[in-house]
Amino acid sequence: MDMPSSAVSEIPNATSAAIAAHIANALRAAIAERGQASLAVSGGKSPIPVFEALRGQVLDWSRVTVVLVDERVVPHGHADSNTGLVQRHLLQGAAAQARFLPFFGEITPQLTAVVLDTLVDDATARIDPLPWPLDVALLGMGEDGHTASLFPGAAGFARAMATDEQLAWVVSDTAPHARLTFTLHALLSARELLLALAGEAKYAVYRRAREQADVALPVSLVLNQDRTPVSVWLG
């Protein structure tokens, strides 16, 4: 499971407000420089207060394209859908003017490797309008050290960590649902990464992960690199 032993800790309101202000500044700067901006966001439960603070930020949302860093392969109406989460909590009010690029529309219930390969190809085409590189990517982390849907040991994990493509599929015994995820390469192609997490269990994992890059803790490969600036926001 994403959070096997405890309830997910949401990012507290004060930290969420600071993260939202930081992201909004980066989006405004991108719009001023390039006329448009791109934002990738994690799903899960912890960023909900960040989304709710971010949607109240004053900026030209019509120039922002939003995408997920990962998605569970479930219908958008499913309770575990990250697309549904973003639609309910971020793309509201002025932020509803943003362009959102979900990875898929309808899905088939038969998720074979061939079907997942096709979903990845289709999703890659769907995100083609995304202004690239991403201006900002907001990442979360699970207690197993996964970020986006880079679940250690999952089917598809080695490819997702090594390929220079943007998207990959992952199927993990320890997480519900097949996933589509930005690859490590795509995440590290962003202009700026934010990692936000809250709760003692996650802090302990984070402290281990920041020590050295270890593929068993995928978030450590985001933290221990010098290609892309990363800021860490502990709730």
Ligand X SMILES: O=C1O[C@H](COP(=O)(O)O)[C@@H](O)[C@H](O)[C@H]1O
- Binding footprint of ligand X on the chain (CB under 6 A): 2-3, 8, 42-46, 69-70, 82, 140, 142, 148-149
The nearest distance, CB 41 to ligand X, in angstroms, is 8
Q: Which residue is nearest to ligand X (CB)?
A: 44
Q: What one-character DSSP code corresponds to residue 97?
A: G
Q: Which helix (H) or strand (E) holds 18?
A: helix 13-34
Which residue matches tokens 């900026």? 59
Residue nearer to ligand X on the CB measure, 59 or 154: 154
**Nearer of residues 3 and 26 to ligand X, judged by Cβ:** 3
Compute the distance between CA of residue 8 and CA of residue 120 in angstroms, rounded to an integer. Answer: 28
Say if CB 43 and CB 79 are below 8 A apart.
no
Residue with Cβ nearer ligand X (61 or 103):
103
In contact, 190 and 137? CB cutoff 8 Å: yes
Shortest spacing between CB 160 and ligand X, in angstroms: 13
Query: Which CB atom, from 20 or from 69, has the smaller least distance to ligand X?
Result: 69
Tell me phi and psi for residue 92, to 5 degrees.
-130, 160
We find the least distance from the C-beta atom of residue 57 to ligand X, in angstroms, to be 21
CA dist., res. 128 & res. 111, Å (int) = 23
- What is the smallest separation between the CB atom of 31 and ligand X, expressed in angstroms? 25
Report d(CA 176, CA 156) in Å as an integer: 15
CB of 88 to ligand X, least distance (A): 15
Collapsing DSSP states into helix, strand and coil, what is residue 171? strand
How many Å apart are CA 39 and CA 114, to the nearest integer? 29
- For residues 22 and 177, which CB has a smaller minimum distance to ligand X in the complex? 177
